[in-house]
Structure 1
Amino acid sequence: MTEDPKGLLAELGDLRKRARVDRHGYWLPFLLFGLITLGATPFYGPMLCADGGQNPELVEPTVCSWSSADQPWLYHWLHPTGQMSGPVFGLHQPGVAADIYWIIALLCGYLAVVWWYRWRAAQVGVETPTRLYAQVTIFMLLLPLIGVPVLSELVFGRLGWQIALPITVLLIVAATWRVRSVRFTLAVLALFALAHFVTFYPYGPMFVLAAGLAGLAYLERSVVCTVTVAIFSATVLFVNEAGRFFFYWPYAVEDFASTALPALVLLVGGIIGSVRREMAR
Structure 2
Amino acid sequence: MTHESASQAGTPHELLAAVRDLTRQVRVAQRGTWFPLLVFAVITLVAIPVYRYAPYLDVFGTCRSRPGHTVCMVPNPAELVYWTVALVLAYAAIAGFYVRQSRRRGVGTPIRPYVVVGVALAVLMAAVSIWLTFHPLLPVPADPFSTDPVEIEVGPAGWLIVGLASPTVAIGLALLVLAWVERHWALLTYSLVYLVVVVIMGSQVIHSTSRWFFLPHLLVPAAVLLLGAAAFALLRPTTEVQA
Report TM bin, short chain.
0.5 to 0.7
Query: Partner of 2:223 in structure 1?
Result: 264
Distance, in Å, in 2 between the alignment partners of 1:231 and 1:206 is 13
Percent identity of paired positions between Structure 1 and Structure 2: 26
Is 1:102 paired with 2:90?
A: no
Partner residue of 2:49 out of 24, 42, 48: 42
Give the secondary-structure state (helix, strand or coil) at the position aligned to 1:72. Answer: coil
Q: Which moved more, 1:117-126 or 1:106-115?
A: 117-126
Q: What is the 5 A alignment of 1:1-281?
A: 1=5, 2-5=8-11, 8-45=15-52, 71-73=57-59, 83=74, 94-146=75-127, 149=130, 197-199=163-165, 204-242=166-204, 255-278=214-237
Query: Partner of 1:52 in structure 2?
Result: none
Distance, in Å, in 1 between the alignment partners of 2:114 and 2:185 is 17
Distance, in Å, in 1 between the alignment partners of 2:122 and 2:237 is 34
Counting helix residues as a fraction of each chain, which structure ranks higher?
A: 1
Deviations along 1:123-146, whole A, 9 cap, x unmatched?
222222123223322322223445
Query: Partner of 1:180 in structure 2?
Result: none
Give the secondary-structure state (helix, strand or coil) at the position aligned to 1:40. Answer: helix
One-letter amino acid matched to 2:10? D
Q: Which runs of 5+ in 2 are unaligned?
A: 63-72, 137-158
Query: Partner of 1:50 in structure 2?
Result: none
Q: Which runs of 5+ in 1 are unaligned?
A: 48-69, 77-81, 84-93, 158-192
Deviations along 1:115-167, whole A, 9 cap, x unmatched?
122222222222221232233223222234457747987xx79xxxxxxxxxx
Distance, in Å, in 1 between the alignment partners of 2:180 and 2:103 is 22
Query: Offset at 1:254?
Result: 6.3
Distance, in Å, in 2 between the alignment partners of 1:240 and 1:205 is 11
Query: Offset at 1:23?
Result: 1.0
CA RMSD after TM alignment = 3.7
127 and 104 in structure 1: CA distance in 2 versus 1, 3 angstrom threshold: same
7 and 145 in structure 1: CA distance in 2 versus 1, 3 angstrom threshold: closer
Query: Offset at 1:30?
Result: 0.9
TM-score, structure 1 length as denominator?
0.58
151 and 259 in structure 1: CA distance in 2 versus 1, 3 angstrom threshold: closer
Distance, in Å, in 1 between the alignment partners of 2:133 and 2:77 is 19
208 and 75 in structure 1: CA distance in 2 versus 1, 3 angstrom threshold: farther
TM-score, structure 2 length as denominator?
0.66
Query: Offset at 1:194?
Result: 5.2
Distance, in Å, in 2 between the alignment partners of 1:108 and 1:20 is 26
